[in-house]
Amino acid sequence: MIRKTAVTPALVVCLAMSLYAAESDGQNPPGASSPAVSASPAPAANAQPASATNAQTAPAASAPPAAPKKQAPGNWWEKSSLERSPLPPQWLFHAEGTLSYMNASGNASGSTFDTVARADLRKDRWTSHSFIQWSRRDMTYGFGQGTVNYTERTLREQVDGDITRTFKLVAGVEDYQNTMIFMDKRLNVYAGVGAIVFRNDKQQFTATGGVGYAEFAFDRAHIMALPFPVGPIRYTPSSGGALGMQTWRWKVSPRFSFSEDASYMKYFDPYLGYRWTINMNGNFPIDKHFSFNLTYRVKEETNSIVTALHVFAQDRAFLVGIRGSI
Rounded percentage of the chain residues whose pLDDT exceeds 70: 75
pLDDT value for 140: 80
Q: What do you get for the CA distance between the two ends of the chain, in Å?
A: 42
Summarize pLDDT for 26-40 with one digit per residue, the tens: 444 444 444 444 444
Q: Where residue 232 falls among pLDDT bands split at 50, 70, 90?
A: confident
Cβ–Cβ under 8 Å, residues 284 and 253: no
Cβ–Cβ under 8 Å, residues 288 and 267: no
> Considering the entire predicted model, what is its pTM?
0.74
Mean pLDDT of 121-133: 96
Long-range CB contact pairs, 218-221, < 8 A, 24+? 218/181, 218/182, 218/183, 218/184, 218/305, 219/179, 219/182, 219/183, 219/184
pLDDT at residue 47 tops 90: no
pLDDT value for 146: 66
pLDDT at residue 155 tops 50: yes
| Count of beta carbons in the 10 Å neighbourhood of residue 135 | 20
Mean pLDDT of 1-28: 45
User: Is 117 or 316 the better-scoring residue by pLDDT?
Assistant: 117
Distance CA 3, CA 306 (A): 13
Summarize pLDDT for 54-106 with one digit per residue, the tens: 444 444 445 555 554 444 445 898 889 998 888 888 999 999 999 998 887 77
What CATH architecture applies to the domain 154-320?
Beta Barrel (2.40)
Cβ–Cβ under 8 Å, residues 101 and 110: no
pLDDT value for 213: 98
Residue 24: strand, helix, or coil: helix
User: Is 15 or 104 the better-scoring residue by pLDDT?
Assistant: 104
Distance CA 129, CA 76 (A): 12
Average pLDDT, the chain: 81
